[in-house]
Structure 1
Amino acid sequence: MSYVGWMIFGVVLLVIEILTPTFFFLWFSIAAFLSGILAMFGLNLGWQVSVFAVASTLLVIFTRPIAKKIMGEAPRKVYVEELKNGVATVVQDIDSSKGTGIVKISGENWRALSVDPKKVIKKGEEVVIERIEGTTVYVRPIETEAKKEGEEI
């Protein structure tokens, strides 16, 4: 691979690093630039690949812990058990017969289906999470006093 190839590879890895919130691809990008510099001086492909592999490994092993300290603690993950019986807002109509529906829970969108497959829940309504299966939440609408009184009349 020519030095141009290594430099392009390094730039691509750098762009991926910018688009992701980790300090992971940065080390590979640096190693690609190092290999590109060595390619400019005429080292053969075997040496270039070896330098890339060794430099990547050493950079990940020795600098990743430092980068983790600088970045601080990772944000707390949402636990599935915490979501049960929680309230969510419907952001896309939930229609179990069509398999459509999205709710927003703690700022995250989840695929949603109604526990009553015959009931369509409209966008903007609030729902209670009954159960979670994989990446799908099963919900039921919140029955407000106004709705109950309106049905009785």
Structure 2
Amino acid sequence: MDVMRFKVLDPAGAISFVGPCHGLKVLTAACAKNPTTLAELLEYTRAYDAQLSEYLLNGLAVFDEHNTAESNGAIRGTLETAAPEKTPPFRVLNTITEGASTEPVGAGLVIFNLPARRIIQVQNAYASVERQDQGRIRENGMPTRRLYRYALPQEWRLLP
């Protein structure tokens, strides 16, 4: 259970990916900076775990090369054949990708709704999201001795 599914909603749409469980704290810390778009969230994420940020940017670039709202056979095929923990990052384009984006994987499913400023723990067997916390900065995927701290602004809601 070292991975979980994440879904991020912003004004342009939604993306989903399966990532390491520590990404829960990294993304929550990035939310403490009040991102309004996925691009901002990933930029803030870079300071805590550049590898996670790059994984998402690169994965979405590959997705965009092979899929559109009208022609999304590539992701449909991947979702039908790959083990859930092996699915690459994808954009939510239709009912098939919407369904996959809401399927818990490993330790669960957490949704980051940037416009509504909500973090929704649909299923979370990893660790509870805290309003204030700290974590280890990662380099090349490995934790370092350096810590980051965050405090979510009051307008952010944690559900449930």
**Structure in which a larger fraction of residues adopt helix:** 1
State if a TM-score over 0.5 links the two structures.
Answer: no
The TM-score, its normalising length taken from structure 2, stands at 0.21
- Quick check: which has more Rg, 1 or 2? 1
Higher relative contact order (CA 8 A, sep 6+): 2
